[in-house]
Structure 1
Amino acid sequence: MKLPPGATGFNPPPSGQADPRVFAGICQHAARAIDATVAGVAPAGVTPSFHTVDITDPPLHIAVLRHTTLPFIAFACPHANGDVTVTFVDHPDLAAAITNLTDAQVLTVDQLQTSLAQVDLNSLDPGEHHQIGYWKPTTLGELLFNFWD
């Protein structure tokens, strides 16, 4: 996979950030499609590098993550306030519902666990390479969905 500029969340491309309200609306429709509900929305701030929509799909509780600038979505176990650990999960039904509503790519756990050694980072700018060197992510998921400041 070749990552475009802005993958780290630093030095976003000129196209700007994804609108968290639009993302929340997509998640609302997707949740209804699988008989689930939206339990909360957390737009990205300075950190993390993603917007979060919490969806309750009893008995599961899923956090849907949307990269702030790139069209990537991932699912994770919800984390407690202040916890910077992201544990990715798959939810095929929710992935299908979201894919029907957006052009953003829903990444699987296998894709997110891809070693950075297998990812083409050549399009990232020097500032992003500096951040990678500082934070030392080892997987694609750690690079895309991070709490770096």
Structure 2
Amino acid sequence: MKLPRGATGFNAPPGEEPDLGTFTTVCYHAARAIGATVTGVIKADVTPSFHTIDVAQAQHHIAVLRHTTVPLVAFARPRTSGDATITFIDRPDLAAAITNLTDAQILTAEQLGIPLPQADLSALGPHEHDQINYWKPNTVGELLFNFWD
């Protein structure tokens, strides 16, 4: 898996940061399409490297993670306040609904679990490699969806 420049949340190519409002609207439409509702939106600040849109469907709660600098999306179990552990999950129904409305790439739990040494980091900038050496993520998911500052 080749990771794009800006994957760490640092040194993104100019003009590629997503519009959270537009993506939130996508999530509202996608949630409705699968019989779910958006229950909250958490905008990233300095950290984490992703925005979170909370979606509820019956007894299931899903955190839709939208990377702040590159068009990548993942699904995770909701976290409690202050918890930096992310458990990635697959939601094919929600992935299909979002894919119909945006060009953002939905990553699977399997892709996010790829060990970092198996990923192609050649497109990342020097500052990003410095961040990787400092924070030492183990997987693609830990690199992409992080709490680095």
Give your verdict on TM over 0.5.
yes
Q: Which residue of 2 aligns with 1:12?
A: 12
SS in 2 for 1:73: strand
Other structure's SS at 1:61 match: strand
List aligned pairs for 1:87-102, cutoff 5 A.
87-102=87-102
CA–CA separation in structure 1 for the residues paired with 2:61 and 2:117 = 32
Q: Following the alignment from structure 2 to structure 1, what is the Cα–Cα distance between the partners of residues 19 and 99?
A: 17
User: Structure 1 CA distance, aligned partners of 2:29 and 2:18?
Assistant: 17
1:1-149 equivalence runs, <5 A? 1-149=1-149
TM-score scaled by length of structure 2 = 0.97
Aligned CA-pair RMSD:
0.8
Q: Unaligned stretches of 5+ in structure 2?
A: none
Q: Secondary structure at the match of 1:35?
A: coil
Q: C-alpha separation between the residues in 2 aligned to 1:59 and 1:97?
A: 19
State the TM-score, normalized to the length of structure 1. 0.97
Q: Is the 2:16–2:70 contact (alpha carbons within 8 Å) kept by the matching residues of 1? A: no
Query: 2:4–2:124: 8 Å Cα contact kept in structure 1?
Result: yes
Where does structure 1 lack aligned partners over 5 or more consecutive residues? Answer: none
Distance 1:43 1:139 in 2: 24
Mapped to 1, the partners of 2:114 and 2:15 lie a distance apart of: 26
Aligned identity (percent) is 65
Kindly provide the amino acid, as one letter, of the partner of residue 25 in structure 1.
T
Matched residue of 1:4: which SS? Answer: coil
Partner Cα separation in structure 2 for residue 78 and residue 58 of structure 1: 15
**Distance in 2 separating the partners of 1:33 and 1:21:** 19
Moved over 6 A (4+): none
2:28–2:38 Cα contact (<8 Å) kept: yes
Amino acid at match of 1:24: T
